Amino acid sequence: MALIVHKYGGTSMGSPERIKNVAKRVAKWHDAGHQIVVVPSAMSGETNRLLGLAKEITAQPDPRELDMLASTGEQASVALLAMALQAIGKQAVSYAGWQVAIKTDSAHTKARIRSIDDTKVRQDLDAGKVVIITGFQGIDELGNITTLGRGGSDTSAVAVAAALQAAECLIYTDVDGVYTTDPRVVSDARRLKTVTFEEMLEMASLGSKVLQIRSVEFAGNYKMPTRVLSSLTDPLMPLEEEAISGTLISFEEDTKMEQATITGIAFNRDETKITVLGVPDRPGIAYQILGAVADANIEVDMIIQNQSVDGKTDFTFTVPRGEYTKAMAVLNEKVKTHIGAANITGDAKVSKVSVVGVGMRSHVGIASQMFRTLSEEGINIQMISTSEIKISVLIDEKYMELAVRALHKAFGLESA
């Protein structure tokens, strides 16, 4: 017998029929002798609907009131699931975040969980009940309802699992796991049986479609084994089979089953590149350029500074596409004349492709294999950045899919 947390996404909770299926699946796990806590999302489309209503009232809704509103989606789904379980003879009780309580900071619409009180939940579990807790929401010190940002139910589930020291957190969703790359780009992409949480963080561009990235950080910090698996299977499929399906986010690199050097190919289409040309090469220049960008709340990713010639140098860095215009404006208005830059140029059509894998730590030659593969395809590399388990290159966006396919093949990631 183990304590297990199940999380169901909006699609899984999307209709009364689907909620009944969730109840069947949960009951199956409970019948097998496990203690089960369920953290569901709002029914699919509901959060969007609520936020849309707010926009119809005012262009700038008060964040506190937005949380008050958006949190109702999850409150409806927990109650419906409790009813569905009771209807098939299971004892079940639902709680909103404030009733547990899940305490957060006061950053409305993007709050962070601070603590979770497990007293009430444990009592219910010990009394044989299935406990259902709203995802996505909590309560701040002053008693205001907060929400954790879009996709936040994943984080709620992993946090609840960590607080209860659950054996595993199962994230049921409409995909059946994490893949070596996006199957829409590479048709023979393979589902990974395991992925370390560090790899999962590095593959954010792929993984974030599956999990809210903050939930992966939580899983890492609390060493909570977290599994992503399909909720579209037969709810009554054999439990032993279900329990090992999907992708397990793991921690022990050495227990990795699939010992490939590279685990996956991640990519981000929406990059832009900005170059500040001919700036004096002296202390403080990087700070003046990138500080101004950071002050405008723009996230900078890759950065290179060229060698200086005659006391002048060039700076190149990338920002997300949505921030490009703003970044260019900040640089042209606040930085250019101030630091005496010759010019500022940009390219809004670049993409980033990365090879990711903890195997990189113990294997040499990954970078050269990556660069050879790209050169054989005639793809020009504009920037390179590396971390311990990732090598990224910036390329022209028109070659992105070609690069992903070529690298996927070169590193032997396709399904057998």
Q: What are φ and ψ of residue 336, in 5° steps?
A: -50, -60
Span from 98-106, 146-154, 178-186, 357-365 in contact with ligand ASP (CB under 6 A): 146-154
Judge contact between 185 and 73, C-beta under 8 A.
no
Q: Which of 10, 138, 177, 246 binds ligand ASP (CB under 6 A)?
A: 10
Q: Which residues contact 163 (CB under 8 A, 6 or more apart)?
A: 115, 116, 118
Task: Give the nearest distance from C-beta 266 to ligand ASP in angstroms.
Answer: 22
What is the rounded distance in angstroms from the CA atom of residue 132 to the CA atom of residue 43? Answer: 15
**Per-residue burial over 323-334, b = 16 or more CB atoms within 10 Å of its CB, e = otherwise:** bbeebbebbeeb
Does residue 135 belong to the site contacting Mg ion (CB under 5 A)?
no
Judge contact between 325 and 298, C-beta under 8 A.
no
**DSSP code of 40?**
E
Binding partner of residue 150 among Mg ion, ligand ASP, none, CB cut-off 5 to 8 Å per kind: ligand ASP
Instruction: Closer to ligand ASP by CB, 46 or 202: give it.
Output: 46
Q: Which two tokens stand for residue 87?
A: 């209807």
Span from 111-119, 147-155, 248-256, 294-302 in contact with Mg ion (CB under 5 A): 147-155
Span from 41-49, 99-107, 289-297, 395-403 in contact with ligand ASP (CB under 6 A): 41-49
Q: Find, among 121, 202, 201, the residue nearest to 156 by Cα.
A: 121
Q: Which of 151, 177, 207, 264 binds Mg ion (CB under 5 A)?
A: 151
Q: Which of 11, 35, 47, 261 binds ligand ASP (CB under 6 A)?
A: 47
Task: Give the nearest distance from C-beta 41 to ligand ASP in angstroms.
Answer: 3
Instruction: Closer to ligand ASP by CB, 72 or 233: give it.
Output: 72
Does residue 177 belong to the site contacting Mg ion (CB under 5 A)?
no
Instruction: Closer to ligand ASP by CB, 35 or 47: give it.
Output: 47
Binding partner of residue 272 among Mg ion, ligand ASP, none, CB cut-off 5 to 8 Å per kind: none
Does residue 136 belong to the site contacting ligand ASP (CB under 6 A)?
yes
What is the rounded distance in angstroms from the CA atom of residue 104 to the CA atom of residue 124? Answer: 23
Q: Find, among 272, 268, 282, the residue nearest to 331 by Cα.
A: 272
Q: Which two tokens stand for residue 178?
A: 């994490």
Q: What is the three-class DSSP state of 409?
A: helix
Applying CB under 6 A, the residues found at the interface with ligand ASP are 10, 41-42, 47, 73, 135-136, 150-154
Applying CB under 5 A, the residues found at the interface with Mg ion are 9, 151
